[in-house]
Amino acid sequence: MGKCTIDAEYKGEERYSKLNIAYETEADKKLIDEALAEVTPKFDVQPHLYLTDASNGRKLLVVEYHDDYDRDAGKAFEEILKILNIKCS
């Protein structure tokens, strides 16, 4: 298996949370998709997802939670980051 090239950035406000997940390869995208498929069904609130191009040929998957009254996004993001082995720094 090749080098993992996934990193993430979190932003949030009251009842709104966003996790930007940047990646390079289709293998990375598959890992991200699998993590989302495992984690998101566990929660009532579901994310809005969209994909965009980032710099240097990378892709960016944006995971947004709106009207997150129970603050499930934080728990979901923690699980996703753990599955992807992304550590906070």
**Per the structure, how many domains does the chain have?**
1
Q: What is the CATH number of the domain that holds 23?
A: 3.30.1360.10
pLDDT at 4 over 60: no
- Residue 61 resides in a domain: yes
Verdict on whether the full-model pTM lies above 0.85:
yes
For 24, the token pair is: 């390079």
pLDDT tens for each residue of 38-62 = 999 999 889 999 999 988 889 999 9
- Residue 1 resides in a domain: no
pLDDT tens for each residue of 19-33 = 999 999 999 999 999
